[in-house]
Amino acid sequence: MLALSRKVNESIMIGNDIEITVLEVKGDQIKIGISAPKSVPIYRKELYLQIQQANKEAAETPVTDEIMKKLFE
């Protein structure tokens, strides 16, 4: 893991087109802004993990006739 120190209004770059800027620091919270192409999905980690789990569960669910009917209604 790379650890960097930044002050308010300072940024870091990831590759050529993702910029992360420190917007505000209040106590133990930091507000950041992320500029990235629309094709790059950005999620909070806890939400990302929920999406991964839901996708895993969906992939393990057998497709039944009832599910097929709902897909084509």
pLDDT tens-digit readout, 9-49: 999 999 999 999 999 999 999 999 999 999 999 999 999 99
| 2 falls within a domain | no
pLDDT at res. 71: 78
Does residue 63 form part of some domain?
yes
Domain extent for 29: 11-71
pLDDT of residue 38: 96
Residue 70 has pLDDT above 90, yes or no: no
When computed from its CA atoms, the radius of gyration of the chain, rounded to whole angstroms, is 19
Confidence of residue 67 (pLDDT cuts 50, 70, 90): confident
C-beta neighbour count of 23 within 10 angstroms: 10
Domain count, the chain: 1
Contact 24, 32 (CB under 8 A): no
